[in-house]
Chains A and B, each alone.
Chain A
Amino acid sequence: MRITVDSDRCVGAGQCVLSAPDVFDQDEDGLVVVLDPRPAPGEHDVVQQAGDLCPAHAITVNED
């Protein structure tokens, strides 16, 4: 699994941080940062959930 984010789209709702706190964080400006772009299998479910919950479609999850 590979995660990319588009911080230009991010609206700082923080849904990603709540879903997967070990994978996503918010920077000084409150915008998404990826802590772990290739998360371990144990994180895949919550990362998928973060991708779905993100209201701004700022998170892309690639299954490779």
Chain B
Amino acid sequence: MTGTEPKTVPFPLRVPGEPFPPPRYEEYRRREGLVPTQLPNGNRVWLVTRHTEVRAVLTSKKISANPDREGFPHISDTMGVPRQEQIPGWFVGLDSPEHDRFRKALIPEFTVRRVRAMRPAIERTVDELIDTMLAAGNSADLVADFALPVPSLVISTLLGIPPVDRDFFESRTRTLVSIRTSTEQQRDTAAKELLRYINRLVGIKAQWPGDDLITRLLATGSISVQEMTGVLMLLLIAGHETTANNIALGVVTLLLNPQWVGDQRAVEETLRFHSVADLVSLRVAVEDVEIGGHLIRAGEGVIPLAAAANHDESAFACPHAFDPARTERHHVAFGYGVHQCLGQNLVRTEMEIVYRRLFERIPTLELAVPVEELPLKYDGVLYGLHELPVRW
């Protein structure tokens, strides 16, 4: 540790016109220790950019994921995304052991085997959306017409939303994540409508059990009816825009690297390469803790940057190359530690089906605008595309 104050770097990290991951990450990784930045609210927090240190933060028992704690790095007033104090059951913001009760109850719904059983339903959803696009002409916005509805419809299948309600569910979830085309008030209304709907659905399942996730979770007896709403909202929000962004960016990458179309290994590599959840795992130190030889004091915020870790050359050979044949699989696109993405196997299956069916059924798929003109989401929490104009 050196005595001199390290230089504070600017926030936000993503700047319009710059590529992603930001070239500055490379410089941050080379610095000794951690990198201080200042959030819009004035708080000073530590950025963590190297792979080993990102993993160390995400497995440290002295570091908390609880947004109610003093010093937690709130990077924005994440609209529509509730907090634990507002909505019980939002367990991504709880630490062990409180967190584990929810996680344990949900694990059986996301096993490799269970997800495999969902394949036919996912294939049907994907094919129907492709049918609709093909029927509508020879061009589309692949974000609005495909990447957003796929995960929303898959989640509604997972949650056991009755088919008659799926359009409602899909339209409200779409509003929630469309920061460009919806107003704050519209997003607020959509979030409230979804909460009310999910509340009602849980009430119905409590009275009339079915063969679905909600019924099974209630039957475990470890999650209350009240907490169920938070759990289900979390599944919805955690699984929607994340997946949509990865679909859209992955399609662009495959269009630019057509030699990898049809290769299943491309799925894992799009996750590492794009790291859409760069700014998702936010943490705060509960006690003084040393990470990579650097002291983080109790109450200081910590932001492990997934995209920085996933492009760390000491963890991945030629990290900036899109190379599905690489053998390193230890990317942190899904986080690490006890909060590592619960939906990851669902994502892998979904992505595999999406890329395969899209290019099988629309072999002439191409970008309708030059790649430099694609509107990148430098303004949201997640990295992605606002629109993806394509034609065939």
Contact = CB atoms under 8 A, between A and B. Distances in A.
Interface of A: 11-14, 17-19, 26, 28-31, 49, 52-53, 55-57
B344 A14 contact: yes
Chain B contact residues, majority secondary structure: helix
Given A13-B344, A49-B329, A31 B338 contact: no
Given A12-B111, A13-B340, A53 B104 contact: no
A11 B338 contact: yes
A12 B329 contact: no
Nearest first, the 4 closest Cβ-Cβ pairs linking A and B are A12-B107, A30-B107, A55-B340, A30-B108
Nearest to A50: B329
B84 interface: no
B345 interface: yes
Tell which of B58, B112, B337 has the most Cβ of chain A within 10 Å: B112
B345 A18 contact: yes
B104 A14 contact: no
Interface of B: 58-59, 100, 103-104, 107-114, 329-330, 334-338, 340-342, 344-345, 348
A18 to B, nearest CB: 7
5 contacts: A11-B103, A11-B340, A13-B344, A14-B111, A55-B59
Nearest to A49: B329
Nearest to A56: B338
Nearest to A11: B338
A53 B51 CA distance: 13
Given A29-B104, A56-B338, A12 B330 contact: no
A53 B335 CA distance: 11
A55 B342 CA distance: 11
A18 B334 CA distance: 15
A30 B111 contact: yes
Contacts of B329: 19, 49, 53
A49 B268 CA distance: 15
A55 B335 contact: yes
A19 B112 CA distance: 11
Contacts of B104: 12, 29
A25 to B, nearest CB: 9
Nearest to A26: B111
A18 B112 contact: yes
Contacts of A19: 329
A57 B59 contact: yes
B338 A12 contact: no
B57 to A, nearest CB: 13
B35 to A, nearest CB: 24
A20 B59 CA distance: 23
A14 B345 contact: yes
Given A11-B340, A14-B112, A52 B103 contact: no
Given A30-B111, A56-B337, 20 more contacts: A11-B103, A11-B340, A12-B107, A12-B111, A12-B342, A14-B112, A17-B111, A17-B112, A26-B111, A26-B112, A29-B104, A29-B107, A30-B107, A30-B109, A30-B110, A49-B329, A53-B330, A55-B335, A55-B336, A55-B338
